[in-house]
Amino acid sequence: MAWPVMARVPDFWSRFAAEEHYLCSGPRFFTGSPRDIFILFSGDKFSPSLQATVQAYRSINSQDETRSPRTAAFARDNFPTHPDLEKWVEDQIERDSGAGFHVLLQNFLRLYSKKGLRELPKQDLVRAVHRMNCFFRIWKMPSFMCIDPSNNLVPLPVSVQAQLRRIARKALDGLEHDVLKMLDDCLTQQGSPKAEERVAIWASMWQLMLMYRELLLAYETHLGRMRRDPSSPYNLIASQTQQYGRLMNKFYPMLAGFYHYQFRTKKSVELSFDWLDGISFSNVSREDKTQIRHVGRQLLTSRRELYHDVESSADTNNAVDKMLRTFVVVHELKKLNARNRNPKDRAPR
């Protein structure tokens, strides 16, 4: 269907991208004792934290870094694991409040992708997209806070941030490849998704479209900064503008086109959770079914608000949302409005 892009675009999220790249590139000579810290997404000390062990180090290539507060790193052989990072983000997702589409979507994917629920239709796709979103949330953070060994709330050293974001980006690259392969497999199926698969594919596709939407908007902002900076090399601006154009004109339309193909009929946008009743409680517990159904219904209710937000944004000449409106939103609203005019056709929830 398409090629992975997350690991190929510039790192435009961090203000210290060049420094982070340098800090991850050279050998280290550890000089201090391992110390525990707790990494946070924000300055809220009570928010979910990632416990990590760090150690002061000196770069073998640069003696003047010996006492720099930026030169700490994850202790050797004690890096955060992928499950550690996923759990950290999942705890943050669960803590996020609000009834908006973005929050509900991420919580729905979190619930649907729980371990032990392999009987759920297309759970492999949902879980891969959910994990991809977890690492995307880490990679796109421009900075983090941490509770240091003295229990003070301080900015996370850039040298640790560099490693954290690098781990996330590498994981993201592998997961993106897996997800795009799964979408290719979906295309080989004849016709629209089965009734029991629709919600899983629909939610997964929206999470993907929103992630790449955010990526493209950030890329556009990055290019604007470069063009205003007289020190930016012309060749670099030209090559990155070309890459951005490929993503805008080929990759994103391909993704939106896949969504349109899967949900092109009125029946295909009739999303229901009735199929949950056919799954044994021994495979999916009553509590899990109730949570998935509850958050899923809230998610479906909130989608009109998202569509109207996209339409409003497109009216302000947002190029990404213009494309999303053209390929997805206009079509979907038309189908949903047709259902409202024919309530007898509406599937029970």
* Dihedral angle computed from the Cα positions of residues 301, 303, 306 and 311, in that order, rounded to the nearest 10 degrees: -120
Please report how many Cα atoms fall inside a 13 Å half-sphere around the Cα of residue 194, on the Cβ side. Answer: 8
Structure tokens at 340: 């409202």
**Rounded CA gap, 146 and 44, in Å?**
10
Whether the per-residue pLDDT at 348 is higher than 70: the answer is no
Give pLDDT, residue 1: 59
Q: Which helix (H) or strand (E) holds 37?
A: strand 35-40
* Confidence category of residue 222, pLDDT binned at 50, 70, 90: very high
Whether the per-residue pLDDT at 92 is higher than 70: the answer is yes
Structure tokens at 6: 């997350």
Q: Which helix (H) or strand (E) holds 254?
A: helix 252-262
**The residue type at 308:** H
Give pLDDT, residue 341: 62
Backbone phi and psi for residue 3, each to the nearest 5 degrees, phi listed first = -105, 150
* CB of 348 closer than 8 Å to CB of 274: yes
Q: What is the DSSP letter of 66?
A: T
Give pLDDT, residue 28: 81
Sign of CA dihedral 70, 74, 76, 82: negative
Q: Which helix (H) or strand (E) holds 217?
A: helix 198-228
Backbone phi and psi for residue 140, each to the nearest 5 degrees, phi listed first = -80, -5
**Could you tell me if residue 116 is left (phi over 0), alpha (psi between -120 and 50 degrees) or otherwise beta?**
left
Whether the per-residue pLDDT at 347 is higher than 70: the answer is no
Q: Whose CA is closest to 7, among 168, 226, 197, 210?
A: 168
Give pLDDT, residue 161: 96
* Confidence category of residue 22, pLDDT binned at 50, 70, 90: confident
Residues whose CB is less than 8 angstroms from the CB of residue 326 and which lie 6 or more positions away in sequence, other chains included: none
Whether the per-residue pLDDT at 94 is higher than 80: the answer is yes
Q: The pTM is what?
A: 0.92
* CB of 98 closer than 8 Å to CB of 298: no
Q: Which helix (H) or strand (E) holds 90?
A: helix 82-95
* CB of 204 closer than 8 Å to CB of 109: yes
Give pLDDT, residue 76: 84
What value does the mean pLDDT take over residues 316-329?
89
Higher pLDDT, 317 or 52: 52
Q: What is the pLDDT of residues 224-243, one digit of tens each?
A: 999 999 999 999 999 999 99
Query: By three-state DSSP, how is residue 218 classified?
Result: helix
Q: Which helix (H) or strand (E) holds 29?
A: strand 28-30
**Rounded CA gap, 108 and 86, in Å?**
15
Residues belonging to the chain: 349
* Confidence category of residue 345, pLDDT binned at 50, 70, 90: very low
- What is the crossing angle of helices 198-228 and 252-262, to 10°? 160
Give pLDDT, residue 339: 65
Q: What is the pLDDT of residues 109-119, one digit of tens each?
A: 999 999 999 89
Structure tokens at 240: 């990155």
Give pLDDT, residue 186: 84
What value does the mean pLDDT take over residues 171-191?
88
- Mean pLDDT, all residues of the chain: 90
Q: What is the pLDDT of residues 35-84, one digit of tens each?
A: 999 999 999 999 999 999 999 988 766 544 444 445 899 998 889 999 99
Q: What is the pLDDT of residues 244-301, one digit of tens each?
A: 999 999 999 999 989 988 888 778 888 999 999 999 988 999 999 999 999 999 999 9
Higher pLDDT, 60 or 97: 97
**Rounded CA gap, 217 and 320, in Å?**
7
Give pLDDT, residue 269: 82
Domain ranges (residues) in the chain = 17-345
**Rounded CA gap, 36 and 324, in Å?**
44
Whether the per-residue pLDDT at 179 is higher than 80: the answer is yes
**The residue type at 229:** D
Give pLDDT, residue 189: 75
